[in-house]
Amino acid sequence: MALVVGNANYARLRPLENPGKDADLIAERLRQLGFEVTLKTNRDLKAMGEDVEAFAQVIKQRGPDVVSVFYYAGHGLESDGLNYLVPVDADIKRKADLAGHAVSVKRIADRLSSAGNRVNILILDACRDNPFPAGASTANGLLGLAPMGAVYGAFIASATGSGKAAFDGDNGHSPYTLALAQAMSAPGEKLEDVFKSVRRQVRLATAEQQIPWESTSIETDFYFVPPAPPPSQATQLLAAATETDNLALFELLADRFPDSEEAARARKILEQRRAAAVDRKPPDASNAAEVLARARQVRTPEAFDLVASLFPDAPEAAEARALASRLREAVVLDSAGPSFEGRELIARLQDELTRLGCLSGPLSGSFDPSTVGGLRRASLLTDEHYLWYRPTMAALRALKKIDAKEGCARQRIAAGPRCQRINNEDYCQ
């Protein structure tokens, strides 16, 4: 469920161009992602309080499994470490006016948390420009929102930090909301990773003048677009049978998974072959070698589990079990050890790329096209998969496992550049 609020037509503060359009964009994107959305625009103090209360009541009625999103676009202010959203009827001339003329973000988070559900996401594209007249003494200490302490079950994201104004945007949308609408549609991205992507896009779009932040105390994973489920054993076996055109594997599929859609397709293929009087090999354990070869290409624990499940007594089963165990052990090892982010993570990635001879540019400390191109080249040196167009710990761990002797100097570089467009940026190697 989502409550989306856009405040633009301020009576006493500087009006804004884009919050209404931004609220429309996020509301539409959330509907596309399966949210039940309530959209409100140009709300005064009384209406904003009523909106939040009604939203919390509905969440409580729906039960603990509800994921709620509260999105706000408009003016926002920070005073003495407390963050406020500004309704359109606010008359703020000094700090003392805030408590009675604005809505506390902490109060909204606490109210949603008390509804009893496990995940509440607050997204605040506030602090747009300076709402006060030029030279007003009130302006200096109120811009931006300050990072907040934990509120149980809440993920709080802000477009910019304390003392900084967020850009309202000059193309119909703010940089933050534009990046958010794009990032939240990426499949298989955890909530935290969605906002890491947003932070990077906003930082680049504003020449590092605007740096978003997040505060979280949620204990479960959430995806706006869930990752695709791993392929079933029947699906994997059908892929192996189709790729090798081995009738014995089609027979094995029909025998082991008779009620699956894949088995129905296998039986249809077998019937067509019988009608054409095509010779068939009898199913035997020798097919284990073909399925194991397929598993080596896929390189997932589930693929090797399939070999052991289908051919438990074959020699290939023991090898498959060992390989599956090794891959699971690697996952555990990858999740251990120190974790880095931001500029420190980028610096360590560049150090590894330099060691492997994959970085063509200087050690800039920023995630520039040279670093992206280096990660792309390095990805060809390993069987591990990582997002080469984004700085991640998975990429750093994968690079550390590559021997310097097997670095980019051994690659054959094509004469012409190869380019790929990611997030409206061209990356070439």
| 53-63 tens-digit pLDDT | 999 999 999 99
Per residue in 260-288, pLDDT (tens digit) is: 999 899 899 888 877 765 454 544 546 78
Report residue 314 CA to chain centroid gap.
Answer: 41
Report residue 8 CA to chain centroid gap.
Answer: 29
**What is the reported pLDDT for 414?**
40
**What is the reported pLDDT for 392?**
86
Torsion 103-105-106-111 (CA) sign: positive
**What is the reported pLDDT for 180?**
96
Higher pLDDT, 190 or 303: 190
Cα separation, 384 vs 331, in Å, equals 11
**What is the reported pLDDT for 181?**
95
Whole-number percent of the chain with pLDDT over 70: 85
pLDDT higher than threshold 80 for residue 144 = no
The average pLDDT across 210-219 equals 88
- Identify which of 269-278, 327-336, 361-370 has the greatest average pLDDT: 361-370
- Identify which of 108-122, 151-165, 299-313 has the greatest average pLDDT: 108-122
Looking at residue 405, its amino acid is K
pLDDT higher than threshold 70 for residue 15 = yes
**What is the reported pLDDT for 329?**
65
**What is the reported pLDDT for 139?**
47
**What is the reported pLDDT for 140?**
47
pLDDT higher than threshold 70 for residue 147 = no
Between 4-13, 224-233, 246-255, 321-330, the lowest mean confidence (pLDDT) is in 321-330
Band of the pLDDT at 150, cuts 50, 70, 90? Answer: low
**What is the reported pLDDT for 354?**
93
**What is the reported pLDDT for 359?**
92
Cα separation, 384 vs 386, in Å, equals 7
DSSP secondary structure code for residue 103 in this structure:
E
What token pair was written down for 233?
């054993």
Between 326-335, 359-368, 388-397, the lowest mean confidence (pLDDT) is in 326-335
Higher pLDDT, 256 or 133: 256
Band of the pLDDT at 418, cuts 50, 70, 90? Answer: low
Helices (H), 98-190: 98-101, 105-113, 175-183
**What is the reported pLDDT for 415?**
38
Cα separation, 29 vs 185, in Å, equals 8
**What is the reported pLDDT for 41?**
96
**What is the reported pLDDT for 388?**
80
Q: Closest Cα to residue 188, out of 219, 225, 216, 158?
A: 225
**What is the reported pLDDT for 331?**
61
DSSP secondary structure code for residue 176 in this structure:
H
Residues 6+ apart with CB under 8 A from 71: 2, 3, 4, 5, 23, 26, 27, 30, 123, 125
The average pLDDT across 70-91 equals 90
DSSP secondary structure code for residue 282 in this structure:
P
**What is the reported pLDDT for 68?**
97
